[in-house]
Amino acid sequence: MTLLIAIITLLYILLALFIRVGLSFRQKFVRGTQTLRGSLVICGRDEGKDLPACLQSIEDQTISTDLLEVILVDDCSNDSTGALMDNYAARSRYQVQVLHMLALLPGEPGGKWRPLKEGIKLAQYEALLLSDADAILTPTWAERHLLELESAEAAAGFAIIEGEGLWSKVQALDWLFLLGVGSSLSRWGMPQAALGKNLSVRRSAYESVGGLEGIGFSLTEDRALVQALARRGARVSFPISPEMAVITPGVSTWSKFTQQRLRWATGIRWLNPVGKLCVFTMALRHYLILLGIILGCPAAWTAWVLTSLFDYALQRHIASKLEWKELLRYFVLWELFYTCSAPYLGYLTLTRRRVQWKGRKFD
């Protein structure tokens, strides 16, 4: 057991160093005359609570009105989402289109994949800017995405969970860590995934992979799109920049958290071998440390401390870049959560075949 723990600890540390080196790479960024125009597509289902803040953040964008259009898609909401979108379209300084999706036909796949592909069909401009109805965009968000697309086929940014209580802080650090790994691998030229609430892609690149229809249905359409682009050699920019970050609420309960992670887990198959190796190494670290502690192996505690120090170095770098260093006060709590929750979530992934999202169930 001691030797096995030592081996996986070394592998994990090498992986952490690989990720940290990747984060030090500078991605080419052109800050000059803006030539692209953007179509912002935002889908929402039952987002009446969070949508007003999202819409206000669109109105607060620094980009001029002749460079951005807004497309809002209501995915058969049961609350005020559709009405809020219509009201915003009537008063916004931007050109706004609202699409109200019809009810699902028998056998038709749901998820965000469906409204997103329909919203993109309405887009007029080359740059497709994608986000969610529960995201608050920083004022420079659209402008920065367009600048990134001057030298890349796609661009992704970070999402920061904001909220009161320890549960929100733990989720915030969890997202920073996962997105940090994604940013590093993208800089190494091996993009894996991105969050659909902070993603942009050139229309020409989107159409080169057949769009979402050509890729096919996925509960993690953002991950599937990035992987399809990567297979064609597209450059995906993934800066750690507060200028193109979004603020979003975390999930409120453990049940919703597990459903979120089960949905994300369905996208693991889209990862390339390097991405899968990262997932496997991290999971093996968690399992062996917990098993070693249960069996009374002192090496397990040593492994946990050593690997946690490397996790802290990564988190500190990411949080500093995003100007959210105050989250580091909750690092130990997150590290305990990160180590202990992963095996349980892995068990659920293997034993549960049904995923629930926005009141809909998927097998």
pLDDT tens, residue by residue, 331-349: 999 999 999 988 887 777 7
In a domain, 355, yes or no: no
Q: Are residues 231 and 315 in the same domain?
A: no
In a domain, 217, yes or no: yes
Q: How far apart are CA 350 and CA 262, in angstroms?
A: 10
Last residue of a domain, one of 212, 227, 252: 252
In a domain, 361, yes or no: no
The answer to whether the beta carbons of residues 215 and 225 sit under 8 Å apart is yes
CA distances to 15, 98, 137, 238, 252 from 26, rounded to whole Å, are: 19, 38, 24, 10, 36
pLDDT interval class at 30 (50, 70, 90): low
Give the pLDDT mean for 149-172: 93
In a domain, 29, yes or no: no
Residue 267, pLDDT > 70, answer no
Q: What is the radius of gyration, based on Cα positions, of the chain?
A: 20
Print burial letters for 191-210: b (CB count within 10 Å at least 16), e (below 16). Answer: bbbbbbbbbbbbbebbeebe
Residue 192, pLDDT > 80, answer yes
Residue 28, pLDDT > 70, answer no
Q: How far apart are CA 47 and CA 233, in angstroms?
A: 36
Last residue of a domain, one of 227, 252, 277: 252
Q: Are residues 247 and 272 in the same domain?
A: no
Give the pLDDT mean for 244-260: 87
Q: Hey, which bits of 122-276 come out as E strands?
A: 127-132, 136-137, 154-156, 159-161, 199-202, 236-237, 246-248
The residue range of the domain holding 51 is 36-252
The answer to whether the beta carbons of residues 70 and 97 sit under 8 Å apart is yes
DSSP 3-state percent helix, strand, coil across the chain (nearest 5)? 55, 15, 30
Q: Are residues 220 and 274 in the same domain?
A: no
Q: Are residues 229 and 276 in the same domain?
A: no
In a domain, 232, yes or no: yes
**Pairing relationship of beta strands 236-237 and 154-156 according to DSSP bridges:** parallel
Q: Are residues 12 and 145 in the same domain?
A: no
Residue 316 burial by CB count (10 A; 0-12/13-18/19+): exposed, middle or buried? middle
| Confidence (pLDDT) at 253 | 85
SS3 342: helix
pLDDT interval class at 303 (50, 70, 90): very high
In a domain, 65, yes or no: yes
Q: Are residues 233 and 314 in the same domain?
A: no
Residue 201, pLDDT > 70, answer yes
Residues β-bridged to residue 361 = 356
In a domain, 278, yes or no: yes
| Confidence (pLDDT) at 104 | 78
In a domain, 30, yes or no: no
CATH number at residue 126: 3.90.550.10
Position with higher pLDDT, 347 vs 227: 227
Residues β-bridged to residue 136 = 247
Q: What is the pLDDT of residues 117-157, one digit of tens each?
A: 999 999 999 999 999 999 999 999 999 999 999 989 999 99
HSE-CB for 311 with a 13 A CA cutoff: 27
| Confidence (pLDDT) at 157 | 96
Last residue of a domain, one of 252, 285, 309: 252
Give the pLDDT mean for 71-83: 94
Q: Are residues 189 and 308 in the same domain?
A: no
Give the pLDDT mean for 35-49: 93
Q: What is the pLDDT of residues 271-296, one digit of tens each?
A: 788 888 888 899 889 999 999 999 88
Position with higher pLDDT, 262 vs 329: 329
Give ∠ CA 76-77-80 in degrees, rounded to 5.
140
Q: Which residue has the tokens 């892609």?
A: 201
Q: Are residues 210 and 331 in the same domain?
A: no
Q: Are residues 277 and 315 in the same domain?
A: yes
Q: Are residues 223 and 310 in the same domain?
A: no
Percent pLDDT > 70 in the chain is: 93
Amino acid at the residue 29 = F
Q: How far apart are CA 23 and CA 181, in angstroms?
A: 8
Residue 233, pLDDT > 60, answer yes
| Confidence (pLDDT) at 219 | 76
Q: How many domains does the chain have?
A: 2
Q: What is the pLDDT of residues 7-16, one digit of tens each?
A: 899 999 999 9
Q: Are residues 179 and 225 in the same domain?
A: yes
pLDDT interval class at 255 (50, 70, 90): confident
Q: Are residues 19 and 87 in the same domain?
A: no
What rounded mean pLDDT belongs to the chain? 89
